[in-house]
A and B are shown apart, each in its own frame.
Chain A
Amino acid sequence: MEKISVNSISKSYGNVEALKEISFNVDEGELFGLIGPDGAGKTTLMRIITTLLLPDSGNAKVCGYDVANEYKKVRTLLGYMPGRFSLYQDLSVEENLNFFAGVFGTTVQENYDLIKNIYYKLEPFKKRRAGKLSGGMKQKLALSCALVHKPEVLVLDEPTTGVDAVSRKEFWDLLKELKMQGITIIVSTAYMDEASLCDRIALIQNGKILGVNTPTGIINAFPYKLFSIECEKPTHALENIRSLSICKNAYLFGNSLHFVSNNEENSPEIIAKTLEESGVKVDSVNEVSPEIEDCFIERMQRQ
């Protein structure tokens, strides 16, 4: 069953088209990722889904309720964690949690099962003001507050931005646990490497969806052969490599280069030979499977 359905949504701010005819569905119990850079339209889309913003055209439904006409109902079914830390900084951990439970007409005790895995790490600091917590702790408190009324759908806007790698991993582990409990989750991120942690993803750029699929599906749909090249002075070699007729695209990828081949016949041997002939000192060439970042670049350039 679809928990979220988005149909042809468009939204402009003045001359800026933030969203252009966006459509996708999120199924019950899915962990759905909205992957795209800053300014892609992720936050606008989430604000529409959470009934905080009206689209110019198109519609969206949460659990079958329209986000515009039935917004009051939708709000009771949603938990929302905005990108900016939006809890009361001068209230304590405990006070924030009680406040959000109260707003939704429930108590912390009633739904404690749902948040206990998250909250137990905060418990020792329950008297501390929210403003005085570390980044990872703030994030856990915000998640607890978004969950305290036992929502069916959880909407998380860039929860891991600016959070260290250890806390990020813990956070994604928590999302997996929540998913096991049947909660449908839509989460946005600008970091391509988080895509593989989702069941399905939508790649979004300049207000348009570049593709919706499972991470593996997106990777399998990459239409070209991709090679990883290790060579001397990769940045200098790039200019040479891009001018070769067998090269569709080439860019830095960590300490190596990624080489997108423009034909099926290219092999590591052919590429190594062609590069050597053009004066690039090659250490190794290997055919590799693309990562989400490669797929994103390819789809951006298709537009």
Chain B
Amino acid sequence: MKVASEVSGNNVIEVKDLVKRFGDFIADDKLTFTVGKGQIFGLLGANGAGKTTAIRMLCGLLKPTAGYIKVAGYDGFTQSDKIKENIGYMSQKFSLYEDLTVWENIRFFGGIYGLWGKQLRERSEELLQNLGMDQHRDTPIADLPLGWKQRLAFSVAQIHKPAVIFLDEPTGGVDPIARKHFWELISKAAYSGTTVVVTTHYMDEAEYCNQIVIMVDGKIVANNTPLELKKEYQAKTMNDVFLRLAQSASRTE
């Protein structure tokens, strides 16, 4: 499997010496990494490591203090609105409206991302077909099993075909079968060219990524594939790798 940095020229995320300061506090200290198109990229770190700040900059929600940042071809300093149009976001506490139906939720999120008319109808049908939820279009979200909600949330976050989708602890709490389905959906999205950025506390989710960056105290301490990291630290699991690196952290939330 290729690491993003080998696929140069095809990077969807490029970050160089990126710094974010809050007063005297350096949340992110000279972050440098690239993520190639269609990669599943995992950003790991203990609480207080600077992960959330990094994600907020990558999503165009927070202006960096210094450095270089480009997401989906747009500059993180001057084109944050463009970045927002070209990314999708899904958190574990996904934001579907429980009392709206499947179809109403799709239409709502499509509308937010600027789809309308024929385009919105076609995209919605495609999405329902892909999810196999066609017969459930009029079911309220509250009546769906958790695994289904999760797959739907993932799909609506991509209704506008973003270049990058951000997933925050994506599979927490679902049963193992639903979880496998969900990772298949994520991998398919990656194969079709969407770049996936995953942040998680659960290291078995990290095993599904093809590139991992680990942050400790605002700095990047590792950037490689899970396989190479396990080799380098002679560890059996990503959890062991992570504990080895993150236990030295001095900062907490």
Contact = CB atoms under 8 A, between A and B. Distances in A.
A238 B191 contact: no
Nearest to A134: B253
B21 interface: no
Interface residues of A, number: 38
Given A235-B188, A255-B227, A190 B201 contact: no
A233 interface: yes
A223 interface: no
A299 to B, nearest CB: 10
A302 interface: no
Nearest to B204: A193
Contacts, number: 100
Interface in B19-71: 45-48
Interface in A143-169: 161-169
B146 A38 contact: yes
A100 interface: no
Contact of A255 (B174, B178, B191, B208): B208
A167 B176 contact: no
Interface in B207-253: 207-208, 210, 226-227, 239, 242-243, 246-247, 249, 252-253
A37 B146 contact: yes
B167 to A, nearest CB: 15
Interface string B125-158: 0000000000000000000011000000000000
A85 to B, nearest CB: 14
B201 A165 contact: yes
A251 B208 contact: no
B187 interface: yes
A255 B210 contact: yes
A37 B175 contact: yes
Given A167-B46, A252-B184, A255-B226, A236 B252 contact: no
Given A38-B174, A134-B48, 20 more contacts: A36-B175, A37-B175, A37-B178, A162-B169, A163-B201, A164-B246, A166-B46, A167-B47, A190-B173, A192-B176, A235-B187, A235-B188, A252-B208, A253-B207, A254-B207, A255-B1, A255-B210, A293-B176, A296-B175, A300-B176
Interface of B: 1, 45-48, 145-146, 169, 172-178, 180, 183-184, 187-188, 191, 201-204, 207-208, 210, 226-227, 239, 242-243, 246-247, 249, 252-253
17 contacts: A37-B176, A39-B145, A136-B47, A161-B173, A163-B201, A165-B203, A165-B242, A166-B246, A190-B172, A190-B174, A193-B204, A233-B191, A234-B187, A235-B191, A254-B207, A255-B208, A297-B176
Interface of A: 36-40, 134-137, 161-169, 190-193, 205, 233-236, 238, 251-255, 293, 296-297, 300-301
What are the 8 closest A-B residue pairs judged by CB atoms, nearest first?
A254-B207, A134-B253, A37-B175, A38-B173, A235-B187, A251-B180, A164-B46, A190-B173
